[in-house]
Amino acid sequence: MAHHHPPADFAAMAEVLDLDAEVFHSFLTDVITWAGERASAPPRRILDLGSGTGAGALALARRFPEARVTALDVSGPLLERLRGKARDLGVADRVSLVEADVDTAWPALDPVDLVWASASLHHLADPDRVLADVLATLRPGGLLVAAEIDSFPRFLPEGFGDGLEERCQALLDERRAAELPHIGSDWGTRLTRAGYANVVERIFAVELTAPLPASAGRYAQASLRRMRSGVEGRLSADDLALLDSLIDGPQGVLHRDDLALRTTRPVWLAGA
């Protein structure tokens, strides 16, 4: 779920979201395929909850050509970016945009067959209330797909910089635990408690190794740049200098041949 950001931060976040969708497109395809197999019928109406720049909404529109997709996000600029992408892909007539902050109030929405919530639930102030709202919006037999993140992706070889990436990850985890108290929740239990049926979880382990597309280097660079903003002031001068060299230096992530992308992403399916 995107939040309001100043223009510079918006641009950086949008870049990371777009690159994440490009680099991990196989993960997105695998999750949508899994959801399609578990759905009682091909969905005709879909809600993307916290759509960001539209990776989920647009992939779902392409996968289910008879479906109409509602992309909901709190960020108007992200939705405008999504609008342009939908137009470029020729699906704008089936993708509608709703700008709303579901932490304030659930908007008036038509019933849907599938709700897609990718890395959005942990941003909510009261996810249990929103899960109840989602359940009320799903038609009987409908499906919620909730994809979450375990941690920041890893890019560097094991032990690089005497564990630079591990130190940065630990600092980010501390900050995120304080700022996002619902990250890492037991979503399966919360979904069951909210009244969903047939809740199942699957862990997707994603590992991409060389040779990687050029977008992988740009994704690593954009991600490390955002990581830097999260650890600045808590990292040693030497570590910060090494991180800066990875972001922009001649031996940085845009030029390394030992770059890899590793992450795990848990996904829950839950029926109405």
List the pLDDT tens digit at each of the 272 positions of the chain: 444 444 447 787 888 899 999 999 999 999 999 999 999 999 999 999 999 999 999 999 999 999 999 999 999 999 999 999 999 999 999 999 999 999 999 999 999 999 999 999 999 999 999 999 999 999 999 999 999 988 789 999 989 999 999 999 999 989 888 899 999 999 999 999 999 999 999 999 999 998 888 899 999 999 999 999 989 899 999 999 999 999 999 999 999 999 999 999 999 999 99
Cβ-based neighbours of 147, under 8 Å, separated by 6 or more: 31, 117, 118, 119, 265, 266, 267, 268
The model's pTM: 0.93
Give me the residue spans of the domains in the chain: 7-159+181-213+259-271
H/E run at residue 98? strand 95-99
Write down the pLDDT at residue 7.
42
Fold of 7-159+181-213+259-271: Rossmann fold (3.40.50)
* Phi, psi dihedrals of residue 183, rounded to the nearest 5°: -65, 140
Cis peptide before 211 (omega within 30 of 0): yes
Write down the pLDDT at residue 200.
98
Cβ-based burial of 17 (10 A; exposed 0-12, middle 13-18, buried ≥19): buried
